[in-house]
Amino acid sequence: MLIKEALDFLRGKTFINVATCGPGQRPNVAPKFLLKIEANYIYLIDYVRNTTLKNLKTNPAVSISSINLDTLKGYQINGVAEILRKGKQNDYKRLIQEYQQKQLDLSTQRLIRALRTEGKSSGYEAEFPGKVAVIKIVVKEAVGISLRGNLERENY
């Protein structure tokens, strides 16, 4: 139940921070575009395509951490990542199409919000790169962290 709770919370996010560790055990945390969550899979878009991908090639373990500000309950999701490649997975083309639609939706929402509030935003759809990496994370564990520091674990 904890894994479902943590994943349901993440579904409302656009970007999430993903921690990896590569050669020399140097940690790296970087924001990734959250494409979607299906069952115990998290699909991310990496538009920088640098340290995270290098780390995943040597160590596919990842950790995602977030906190629900309404309940002050924190979540840590641990899993194993796979970099999906063009031509190797049938889902790759479909996932890229979903990414393109989601980036268009996000750009539209930001533009409408800026017009309504007379806010200043920059870099709508023009800022999204076309060349990206798709990362598929298999969720293995969720950890719930209460306000009092109590830990609750659930393995998938």
- The residue ranges of every structural domain in the chain are 2-86+130-155
3-class SS letters over 105-144: HHHHHHHHHHHHHCCCCCCCHHHCCCCCEEEEEEEEEEEE
3-class state of residue 146 by DSSP: coil
Per-residue pLDDT of the chain (156 residues; tens, 9 = 90+): 999 999 999 998 999 999 999 888 889 999 999 999 999 999 999 988 899 999 999 999 999 999 999 999 999 999 999 999 876 556 888 888 888 888 888 877 777 777 777 666 655 555 566 688 999 999 999 999 998 989 999 998
β partners of residue 38: 41
Per-residue confidence (pLDDT) for residue 121, from 0 to 100 = 61
Element (H, E) at 82: strand 73-84
Give me 75's structure tokens.
Answer: 């979540």
Alpha-carbon separation of residue 100 from 6, 55, 81, 131 (angstroms)? 26, 26, 22, 11
Per-residue confidence (pLDDT) for residue 91, from 0 to 100 = 84
Per-residue confidence (pLDDT) for residue 8, from 0 to 100 = 95
**What pTM does this model have?**
0.85
User: Residue 53 carries which side chain, given as an amino acid letter?
Assistant: L
154/156 Cα distance (integer angstroms): 7
Give me 117's structure tokens.
Answer: 């509030």
- Residue whose C-alpha is closest to residue 45's, from 88, 16, 10: 16
Which of 3.40.50.300, 3.40.50.150, 2.40.128.110, 2.30.110.10 would CATH assign to domain 2-86+130-155?
2.30.110.10
- Residue whose C-alpha is closest to residue 68's, from 151, 5, 133: 5
Q: In sequence order, what DSSP letters do the residues of 7-56 get, joined into one string? A: HHHHTT-SEEEEEEE-GGG-EEEEEEEEEEEETTEEEEEESS-SHHHHHH
Per-residue confidence (pLDDT) for residue 130, from 0 to 100 = 67
